[in-house]
Amino acid sequence: MTIPLMLYVVWMGLMGKVPRLPILNETVRNLYFHVPMWFGMIFLFGASVWFSIQYLRTGNLENDTKAGSYVEIGTVFGILGLVTGMLWAKFTWGEYWSNDPKQNASAVGMMIYFGYLLLRGSLGNERDRARISSVYSIFAFSILVPLIYVLPRFTDSLHPGNGGNPGFNPYDQARYMRPVFYPAVLGWTLIGFWIGDLVIRYKTLIFKRLENVK
Amino acid sequence: MLNRIFKHISSGFLLNLLFIFFAKAQGSEIEMADGFRANGKIYVVVTTVLIVLIGLLLFLIYLDKKITKLEKLS
């Protein structure tokens, strides 16, 4: 399902009809490639929180492996979101980094998740690692969501839909972009979960191997 | 008399020609590396797609290497 969806998104994303806007020009098509990175990241981190809670409830280490793997691929999506956002910003807002509140907030958010990965890497004991990183993941997510989705809305941001900023808003303009945008979000998210699943299978193998050695 | 008028016109004409020439020279395309801002900035989108693709491929290569290591061990 992911593959036809992505083929459709790339084709329609590049060839489909888009509104003609000043400054943005054709870069409005980045809506199909930059924005879904953040959606994918949030879904992946959300899955991580879900499995962290499951770990804390059941104590099953499989859940912790899943939580850790989804954060890994979620962080990759976040980095890609930041880099593509910087490129887009350079050609529409003038600077790679203009200290836009949403840019700064998402950078801080990424730092928090780098902290998660470092924490996981530095704890040797599986049980400790699972317990501490599960709690960390839940807290990180509950900080990240207001950081990215709530706080920038209180201040002036260059991102559309924030602080009464005039700009294009995909949700009330350009209705014909939606049939591409929603599949784009779904497609990229599925790619994220697909790769996340590969990481999980790899880690499960490693885990089983370690148990055999013991 | 006619000659003088003709001379006047022709010199004006020449000046005009010169003027047009310089104006054109100033208005002509100056070769700059601004491809990213041309053609409706479509190359920004192309690069965005490339960055995403390269990023995901790098992660897959990293995963592939780790799996290869695991295969060699077992």
B47 vs A contacts (CB less than 8 Å)? 87
Does pTM surpass 0.95? no
Contact A41, A147 (CB under 8 A): no
Rounded distance between C-alpha atoms, residue A30 and residue A81, angstroms: 11
pLDDT in tens, chain B (74 residues): 666 656 665 655 555 555 555 555 555 566 665 666 666 667 777 777 888 888 888 888 888 888 888 888 76
Give contacts of A206 with chain B, Cβ < 8 Å: 70
pLDDT at B18: 54
Cβ contact, residue pair B41, A83, below 8 Å: no
In this prediction, residue A164 carries a pLDDT of 41
Query: Residue A131: its pLDDT value, please?
Result: 87
| Predicted complex ipTM | 0.70
Looking at beta carbons, which residues of chain B come within 8 Å of A191? 56
Intervals of chain A under pLDDT 50: 22-23, 162-168, 170-172
Q: Identify residues of B whose CB sits under 8 angstroms from chain A CBs.
A: 36-37, 39-42, 44-45, 47-49, 51-52, 55-56, 59-60, 63, 66-67, 70, 73-74
Determine whether the interchain pair B45/A73 forms a contact, defined as Cβ–Cβ distance below 8 Å: no
Contacts 24+ apart (CB under 8 A), A113-120: A113/A45, A113/A71, A113/A74, A113/A75, A113/A78, A113/A140, A113/A144, A114/A75, A115/A140, A116/A71, A116/A140, A117/A71, A117/A72, A117/A75, A120/A68
Q: What is the DSSP letter of B28?
A: S
- B63 vs A25: CB contact, 8 Å cut-off? no
Rounded distance, CA B72 to CA B74, Å? 6
Sign of CA dihedral A109, A115, A116, A121: positive
Domain extents for chain B? 1-31, 33-74
pLDDT for A166 equals: 42
pLDDT at B53: 85
